Structure formats: structure tokens, C-alpha cells
Structure 1
Amino acid sequence: MELVATGISLGIDNSELLAFLNQGIRTIKYLVKSYYWILTLRLSMQWFPNINPYVHPMYALLYLTDPFLENFEGLVPNVLGMDMSSMLAFICLEWIIRTLDSIAFY
């Protein structure tokens, strides 16, 4: 007994599908890069103690970035009283961006 796979035509040309996939990868890469800069702004804000992070514009940064940073807490020990887990978060985001740079559909 043989199983024969039948092709299902969606009415989409191969080149259109590849262009759609490439555009999706570029969009995801843009979103990750944007999040990278939001995270950079949030961590730079911590160096200025006179900025209240709980007022509305700054609280949005905390709300967007805290769930991501909580994943890295405790993975890297503190060095001279500084939390290095944010460095691990940046390395992870940079790895994701470089991986998305290398993906291309031909």
C-alpha cells in the first residue's frame, strides 16, 4: 500500500510566499531592535537617581521591560554590588537580532 501526497494549491506563487516570509522576518527583527532600545533607555534611566520611575512616561518603560528582565535575575551573580543580569539580557537580545539577520528565504 502506497500513500501518495496530493499537493494543495493555495493560489500563491512561490516568489510571493518567499517575499512574505522575508518581510515577516524583517518585521520581527525591527520589533526586537526596538525593544533593545527601549531596554537601553530603561537601564540608562536607573543611573539618574533624581528621575522618579513611577510617573507615567517612565512607568511605561518599567511595565514593558520588567517581565523580560525578571527572567534573567539570579542567573549571574552581582559584581561589586552591580546586577549583571541585564548584561545577559542584552546578550540574549543581540543573539536574537543576529540570528534574524542571518535568516533569508530564497
Structure 2
Amino acid sequence: MQILATLLQVLAQTLEIYSLVLIVRVLLSWFPNLDWANPVLSTVSSITDPYLNAFRGLIPPLGGLDLSAILALVALSLLQQMLNTASVAILNSGMSYYS
């Protein structure tokens, strides 16, 4: 059970890193003159755009503002919380099993 709890924690940490990359992508989108052919920017875009596109289909831009990133970040946060909660529950159930 310890391995499963560790795996869930690693997944939650990976989602936290992805959330940070997503925030960077959103902030970079505020600068329209950036050269997206740059390898770093292109990589950030290729990593985050497929996920953001899934939410762009749900929430159309309102007045030129793309609010889909907010929903995308909320979804990632909820998934992180679920993974952390499951990890703690598994660790607690394993502790009571050995007591």
C-alpha cells in the first residue's frame, strides 16, 4: 500500500508542476509580440495547449478574454486534492492495519 500512496503523491506533485507551467503559459499569452517559434515557448505551448483546448470548447472567449484557463486550473487543483486525499487515506488505513 505504501507504493500506491507514493505513486499518488508523485502524480499530485506532477500535476502541481504542470499547473505552474500552465500559469506561465497563460501569463505569456498576455504578450502578443512573443516569438512562439522560440524552442522554449514552443515547448510550453505544445505541452499546455491540448489541455487548454479541451476547456476552450466548453467556455468561449468573453470580450476577448479566454476564461477557459481558470476552469482548467480549477480542474487540476481538484484532481491534485483528490490524489492527496487518497494518498493520506491509504497511508492511514495501512497504519491502522499494522496497529
Structure 1 length as normaliser, TM-score?
Answer: 0.77
- Between the aligned residues of both structures, percent identity stands at 26
Taking the aligned partners of 1:32 and 1:72, their CA distance within structure 2 comes to 17
Cα RMSD, aligned residues only: 1.2
1:29 aligns with 2:26: no
Give 1:88's aligned residue: 71
CA-to-aligned-CA distance 1:68-103 (integer Å, 9 cap, x gap):
111111312322221111111111111111111211
Matched, 1:100 2:83: yes
Q: Aligned equivalents of 1:77 and 1:50: distance in 2?
A: 23
Partner Cα distance (1:81, 1:47) in 2: 12
Provide structure 2 residue ranges, at least 5 long, that are not aligned to the other structure. Answer: 94-99
Gap runs ≥5 in structure 1: 1-17
How many Å separate the matches in 1 of 2:57 and 2:10?
32
After the TM superposition, which of the residue ranges 95-104 and 25-34 deviates more from structure 2? 95-104
Specify the code of the residue in structure 1 equivalent to 2:21: I
When the two structures are superposed, what TM-score results if normalisation uses the length of structure 2?
0.82
Distance 1:43 1:27 in 2: 24
The structure whose residues are more often helix, as a share, is 2
Residue of 24, 38, 54 corresponding to 1:41? 24
Q: How does 1:68-83 map to 2 (within 5 A)?
A: 68-83=51-66
> Helix, strand or coil: the match of 2:74?
helix
Which structure is larger by alpha-carbon Rg, 1 or 2? Answer: 1
How many residues get paired? 89
Higher relative CO (Cα under 8 Å, sequence separation at least 6) belongs to: 2
Q: Tell me the SS of whatever aligns to 1:72.
A: helix
Amino acid at match of 1:87: I
Alignment match, 1:10: none
